[in-house]
Amino acid sequence: MAYSEKVLDHYENPRNVGSFGKDDEGIATGMVGAPACGDVMKLQLKVGKDGVIEDAKFKTYGCGSAIASSSLVTEWVKGKTIDQALEIKNTQIAEELALPPVKIHCSILAEDAIKAAVADYKKKHGA
Amino acid sequence: MDSGMKLPVYLDYSATTPVDPRVAAKMIPWLTEHFGNPASRSHAYGWDAEKAVEEARDQVAALVGADAKEIIWTSGATESNNLAIKGAAHFYAGTKGKHIITVSTEHKAVLDTVKELERQGFEATYLTPQENGLITIEQFKAALRPDTVVASVMAVNNEIGVIQPIAEIGEICREKGVIFHVDAAQATGKMPLDLSKLKVDLMSFCAHKTYGPKGIGALYVRRKPRIRLEAQMHGGGHERGMRSGTLATHQIVGMGESFRLAREEMATENERIRMLRDKLLKGLMDIEETYINGDIEQRVPHNLNVSFNFVEGESLIMAIKDIAVSSGSACTSASLEPSYVLRSLGRSDELAHSSIRFTLGRFTTEADVDFTIKLLHDKLGKLRELSPLWEMYKDGVDLNSVQWAAH
C-alpha cells in the first residue's frame, strides 16, 4: 500500500507517544476500537483549570494510517478548549494525511478518540 | 548496517527462489542455438531438443525415486494439482464414487480445484489440522467413505512448513483403493521423497521453488499400479495424451538441472539452512510474547513462522521493510483478511494478522540472519512502545475481559 509522505512522517516519527497517570488531576482518557478489528487508539488529554488542553499523549495499535491519525490529533488538540477539540472532524484528518478511501476508518476512529476523551473529562468534572 | 548487504534482505524463498546461476547457464543455449521443437521427428533440431527433454525427465524422476516414464511436464504446480485432482476425479468417479478428502490448510490450487469439483456434483471433506498444523491418521481414517475417490494432502505446508504424514496416509489409501495425490511444490530439495517406497499415486512439482525457472512444473503419475487421468488440456497429444502443448525445452532443461543440483546438494545445504533457521528462531524467541506457528520438529528446515502479540500486522510489515518476508495478513483491501492457514490452527485474528513467515534458502547468509534478528528486536520495541494493548498487558490487564467497542 502506498502511503502519503505525511502518513510516513507521522509513522516514522510519531508525536506525543506515551501515557499520563489515568487518575491524575485534569487527565481525561479516551480508548476506542477493538483488537479484533485491527485498531485500538488511546488518547489522553491534560486539561487546565481554564478548560484548555495543555498537553496530549497517545498510544495506538493499528496500521500506519491509524498511528498517523492519532499522532496528528495530539498535535491539533493542544491549545484548544475541549469544546474546540470536538470540532475536529475526520474529514479534516483524512484530508491532511491524504488517506486513501480504505483508510478513512482510521480518521473516524481518531475523531471518536477525541469525543471519548472529552466525554471522560466531562464525566469526571460533572459538566 | 552491513554495507555489503543488499536490501531488502530476501527471506521469502517459499514464495519463489532465484534461478541458480548454474541452472540459468544450462538453459540459455536451448533458447538461441538449440531451439528445435522436441516433437519434430524429421530433423536433428527436434532430436536434440527431445534428447534434452528426456534427460531432464530422468533428472526430475531421480530426485523423487520415480521412473522417468511417470513424469509429465506441466506449467507449474497449480496446473499439476488441477490435472491430478480433476483428472483422477473425473476418470474414476463412475467406478469409485464422488467423495474427495483434503485438508483446510492446503494451497488454494488444491482447495479451489476441489471447490470446483463440488460445483460439478462431487462432495468434499476438509480436514481441520490440530493446533500444530498436522492432521492425524485417525482423523483421515474417520473421513474415508466407501465412495471416496481421491484424497489430496500436501507434503509440506507453504505457510508454516510442517510435513504431513503422507507415508502413513498413502498406506491407508492404497488399502482402501483411494487415489492419493500429494502437492510437493514446497518439498523438493527440502526433504527426501522416494516414490519407489511412498504409496502416492500422483505428485505435483514445480521448478521455481527449487532454484529453477518459473512457468514449468511436473506431475508424477504412477504406472504400477497404473493411474489414469482425464486430460484437461487437449491438442497434439503430447505427454502421452495427458497434457498437450509444445514442450518448453529451455524451461524443462532448467527444471532438470535444478532438481539434479537439489539431489546432489540437499543433504549439506539443508544442514546449513537448519543451523541458520535455528539461530533465527533463538534470536526471535528472546522477544517476549512471540509464538511459533506450526510444529517445530515435523517441519522443513527452511521455514519459520512466528506471531508477535500486541502489534498490528500491517504496521509490522511497514516497520520491517528492510527484509522481504510474507505476512499472515493480506491487507489489500478495506477488510483485513487473516491467513486461513493460521485460522485453521485456531490462532486468534490478532495473532494471525501479526504473523511473519521467514523462509531461508541457498543464498541466505549468517549476516542476513543477524540483521533480521536485530531489526525485529528494534522495531517490535518501537511498535510495542506505541501499543496500548502492550501497555495493558504489562499492567496485568486481561484483554479478553475488556469490553471493546466494535467498529
pLDDT digits (tens, 9 = 90+) for B340-398: 999 999 998 889 889 999 999 999 999 999 999 999 999 999 999 999 999 999 999 98
Q: Facing residues of B221 across strands? A: B202
Q: What are the phi and psi torsion angles at B269 (to 5°)? A: -60, -45
User: Using CB atoms and an 8 Å cut-off, which of residues 291-330 of chain B contact chain A?
Assistant: 310-315, 318
pLDDT single digits (tens) B300-325: 999 999 999 999 988 998 999 999 99
Q: Find the catalytic residue in A18, A37, A91, A98.
A: A37
A60 inside 8 A of chain B by CB: yes
d(CA B324, CA B316): 12
pLDDT at B349: 83
Here the cell at position B318 is 511497514
pLDDT at B3 > cutoff 60: no
pLDDT at B159 > cutoff 50: yes
pLDDT at B214: 98
Here the cell at position B267 is 543433504
User: Using CB atoms and an 8 Å cut-off, which of residues 340-359 of chain B contact chain A?
Assistant: 348-350, 353
Binary contact (A105, B334; C-beta < 8 A): yes
**Which residue in B325, B380, B332, B331 sits closest to B357, CA to CA?**
B325
Own/partner pairs for B234-237, CB < 8 Å, 24+ apart?
B236/B39
pLDDT at B183 > cutoff 90: yes
pLDDT at B333: 43
d(CA B242, CA B70): 11
Q: Find the catalytic residue in B15, B292, B331, B375.
A: B331
pLDDT at A36: 83
With b meaning 16 or more CB within 10 Å and e meaning fewer, what string describes A63-97? bbbbbbbbbbbbebbbebebeebbebebeebbebb
pLDDT at B350: 85
pLDDT at A77: 97
Evaluate whether B218 touches B80 at the Cβ level (below 8 Å): yes
Residue carrying the nine cell digits 518439498: B187
Binary contact (A59, B310; C-beta < 8 A): no
Here the cell at position A20 is 499520563
pLDDT at B334 > cutoff 60: no
A120 inside 8 A of chain B by CB: no
Evaluate whether B166 touches B139 at the Cβ level (below 8 Å): no
Evaluate whether A6 touches A68 at the Cβ level (below 8 Å): yes
Which stretches of A27-103 are DSSP H helices?
64-77, 82-85, 90-97
Mutate to test the interface with A, among B387, B391, B394, B398 (most CBs of A within 10 A): B387
Residue carrying the nine cell digits 485500538: A40
Provide, rounded to the nearest whole percent, the portion of chain B with pLDDT above 90: 89
- Residue B328 is classified by DSSP as S
Question: What DSSP assignment string belongs to B268-287?
Answer: HHHHHHHHHHHHHHHHHHTS
Q: Which residue in the set A61, A108, A109 is minimally distant from B310, CB to CB? A: A61
Strand order in the sheet with A27-34: A27-34, A39-47, A53-61
**Which residue in B216, B217, B158, B152 sits closest to B186, CA to CA?**
B158
Mutate to test the interface with B, among A13, A59, A99, A103 (most CBs of B within 10 A): A59
d(CA B178, CA A87): 68
- CA distance readout (Å), A40 to A12, A36, B210, B335, B404: 19, 9, 42, 16, 9
pLDDT at B330: 56
| pLDDT tier at B332, thresholds 50, 70, 90 | very low
Residues B83-97 have a mean pLDDT of 97
d(CA B179, CA B197): 16
Q: Which residue in the set B314, B348, B407 is minimally distant from A37, CB to CB? A: B407
Question: What DSSP assignment string belongs to B250-272?
Answer: HHHHHHHHHHHHHHHHHHHHHHH
Residues B227-241 have a mean pLDDT of 95
Residues B50-54 have a mean pLDDT of 98
Measured between CA atoms, how close is A80 to chain B, in angstroms? 24
pLDDT single digits (tens) B94-106: 999 999 999 999 9
d(CA A123, CA A102): 34
pLDDT at B172: 98
**Which residue in B327, B375, B397 sits closest to A42, CA to CA?**
B397
Here the cell at position B390 is 502492550
Binary contact (A17, B386; C-beta < 8 A): yes
Element (DSSP H or E) covering residue B139: helix B137-143
Mean pLDDT by 10 residues, chain A (127 residues): 88 95 89 90 95 96 95 97 96 96 93 96 83
A117 inside 8 A of chain B by CB: no
Here the cell at position B192 is 527426501
Residue carrying the nine cell digits 547457464: B25
pLDDT single digits (tens) A65-90: 999 999 999 999 999 999 999 999 99
Cβ neighbours of residue B89 under 8 Å, at least 6 residues apart? B98, B100, B117, B122, B149, B150
Strand pairing category for A39-47 and B329-330: unpaired
Here the cell at position A124 is 469526571
Residue carrying the nine cell digits 492446503: B106
Whether residue B331 lies in the annotated active site: yes
Which range is most confident: A1-5, B138-142, B399-403? Answer: B138-142
